[in-house]
Chain A
Amino acid sequence: MSIEISNVNKYFGDFAALTDIDLTIPTGQLTALLGPSGGGKSTLLRVIAGLEEADSGTVTIEGADATALPVQKRNVGFVFQHYAAFKHLSVRRNIAFGLEIRKRPRAEIDAKVEELLELVHLTAWAERKPAQLSGGQRQRMALARALAIEPSVLLLDEPFGALDAKVRKELRDWLRRLHDEVHVTTVFVTHDQEEALEVADQIVVINEGRIEQVGTPDDLYDRPASEFVLGFLGPVTRLGGDLIRPHDIEISRYEQAATATGPITRWTRVGFEVRLEITPDDVLHPDPVQVALTRTEARALDLHLGDQVWLRPAVGAQTVTT
């Protein structure tokens, strides 16, 4: 197993940033640490990298105990949210930095850098300074720089957080493809559940310094271990006494066996999606229920604001009883 974390605790003053973390990160896979801001996921990543020292517990990287190793000796590639580019060096020299530190022969460095420039599609920009690159290019440069030292693990701290939505999406796809070819054990931190679901082989949900659940994206989505995981991976609403995803609710204008019934009290259109709010007539569960359906479905069902509708869980929908 590539990274083994056992019993790690970390405090900042009185604040418990990490509590009893036990985690195994499999070799060659892309693992996402997912959770809300301030939940401890970045701290965990920094503990793995050696940028932060755990107050107790051990970190083992590729079978060797790395707990006492300084960051310089851990052979990890680290990518920061804000690129951390060496501003006074050209793209080429940024990428070569780790190899120069290791005093590799010039010819080897040049060959490796050339190969990486190709890999991150920055060959044409090799002599530029980081300030002359776009955010996406800078982050690709940072990635090449981290990969240059052939790290045993690649760690990315919210790598796409500072980019705009479109570039973020492109880089996300690109990271997935890159990983499929380079196969370096990769851990990345994100607070974006879509990013984690789309890119990761394994997701670790972290909240308030504790691991909530570990699993594949489908595991987590279909079998959330807690209300928190369910809520964090996508929108949820409460139908009757159960938690359910808004798009898993069947809605009808005609009277049928239903969990709740009431008028449509709110109508929000977001692109292809229509989000409805139904206020049930049920005095036991008077809170509004959110329902999501496509615009086409809404039109086919002939729904309008104010219509009386009947709601029930769709066939195959997962619900969590609380």
Chain B
Amino acid sequence: MNGITTARPDAAPAAPSRPRRRARRSTLTRASGVGLGLAVVWFSLLVLIPLAAVVIAAAEGGWDTFVGTITDGDTAAAIRLTVVEAALVTVVNVVMGTVIAWVLVRDTFPGKRVLEVVIDLPFALPTIVAGLVLLSLYGPDSPVGVNLVNSRQGIFLALLFVTLPFVVRTVQPVLLELDADVEEAAASLGASRATTFRRIILPALAPAITAGASLAFARAISEFGSLVLIAGNQPRNTEVASLKILKYIEGDQQAAAASVAVLLLLVAVLVIVALDLISRRVAARG
């Protein structure tokens, strides 16, 4: 096929237009302007102002209180435990959530409908109930003889339990929308199933997986209800950040509590941004 050219088709393009540039000019009409205003007010009242208040509360204690709090041995341990556990749980969720979504979308088996509903249970259960469920199975009176109370494994398990649906539920609809054609095209070009998954399917799923992972991570670093019962709350061992904040507030140390809160906030923002960057990378790579 070397050096072949065909006659120019009539549909042949003229000169390509410049790459589209995103319009900077506002496209707001009066109605959408009102809508935007409402959204901003709502968002401010619910999110921005309280967030700012926390930051101010942390700042009121001064820089020394902030540094002092987060470098305090117990607190630093609690924050480290929280972030590490949340990161691990997120990694497990990314893998397992994608697998579960895959099975739910691509396979047909008896009991599929039931599984679909069960997946959402951790969403639906009040977290304290989730803690109770775990306690009854893996607590001191465990019927299976496994006692995870007062252990990091217990925290890990509780976090896995409450974050299970996030990745599954974000990946599932995207997977449903994927064209079978595209995978067949990759196969006809010689790509194995694994290569097709890595180069074609994964990039398409990446934004959904990231969204799910962000949600799971955010939920994991903030988890409280299910941990109250199972974590045991021992400083430097099983005390997580949210419980540490509670302890500060109970001890009337508002500024310290706010300091921990601000740090958690920063971590959450950093992780969400990092995940987004990774997702863009994967989506563009192929």
Give the B-binding residues of A (Cβ under 8 A): 49-51, 70-78, 80, 82-89, 93, 97-98, 101-102, 115, 118-119, 121-122, 124-125, 132, 136-137, 142, 145-150, 167, 170-171, 173-174, 177-178, 181-182
The answer to whether B182 and A84 have CB atoms under 8 Å apart is: yes
Give the A-binding residues of B (Cβ under 8 A): 1-13, 15-16, 20, 179, 181-182, 184-192, 195, 199-200, 203-204, 283-284, 286
The answer to whether B9 and A171 have CB atoms under 8 Å apart is: yes
Quick one: which of A86, A124, A170, A171 contacts B15, CB cutoff 8 A?
A: A124
The answer to whether A174 and B13 have CB atoms under 8 Å apart is: no
Within the assembled complex, what's the spacing in Å between the Cα atoms of A99 and B213? 34
Shortest distance between the CB of A3 and any CB in chain B (Å): 15
Known: A78-B184, A170-B9, A171-B11. A124 touches B190 (CB 8 A): no
Q: List 21 A-B contacts (CB under 8 A).
A: A51-B188, A71-B188, A72-B187, A72-B190, A72-B192, A76-B188, A77-B188, A83-B181, A84-B184, A87-B182, A101-B189, A124-B16, A125-B16, A137-B11, A137-B13, A149-B190, A170-B10, A173-B9, A174-B11, A177-B6, A181-B6
- In the complex, residue of chain B having the shortest beta-carbon distance to the beta carbon of A121: B12
Within the assembled complex, what's the spacing in Å between the Cα atoms of A124 and B19? 11
Residues of A within 8 A of B189 (CB): 97-98, 101, 145-146, 148-149
The answer to whether A86 and B182 have CB atoms under 8 Å apart is: yes
A-B pairs with CB below 8 Å: how many? Answer: 112
Residues of A within 8 A of B200 (CB): 86
Residues of A within 8 A of B190 (CB): 72-73, 75, 98, 101-102, 149
Shortest distance between the CB of A89 and any CB in chain B (Å): 5
Residues of B within 8 A of A122 (CB): 13
The answer to whether B188 and A101 have CB atoms under 8 Å apart is: no
Residues of A within 8 A of B11 (CB): 136-137, 167, 170-171, 174
Residues of B within 8 A of A75 (CB): 190
Within the assembled complex, what's the spacing in Å between the Cα atoms of A77 and B20? 32
Known: A86-B200, A87-B204, A88-B284. A78 touches B185 (CB 8 A): yes
Quick one: which of B5, B16, B186 contacts A86, CB cutoff 8 A?
A: B186
Quick one: which of B9, B191, B204 contacts A88, CB cutoff 8 A?
A: B204
Shortest distance between the CB of B275 and any CB in chain A (Å): 18
- In the complex, residue of chain A having the shortest beta-carbon distance to the beta carbon of B7: A177
The answer to whether B286 and A89 have CB atoms under 8 Å apart is: yes
The answer to whether B1 and A182 have CB atoms under 8 Å apart is: yes
- In the complex, residue of chain A having the shortest beta-carbon distance to the beta carbon of B14: A124
Shortest distance between the CB of B149 and any CB in chain A (Å): 46
Within the assembled complex, what's the spacing in Å between the Cα atoms of A170 and B3? 23
Within the assembled complex, what's the spacing in Å between the Cα atoms of A210 and B196? 34
Known: A115-B2, A121-B8, A171-B11. A101 touches B204 (CB 8 A): no
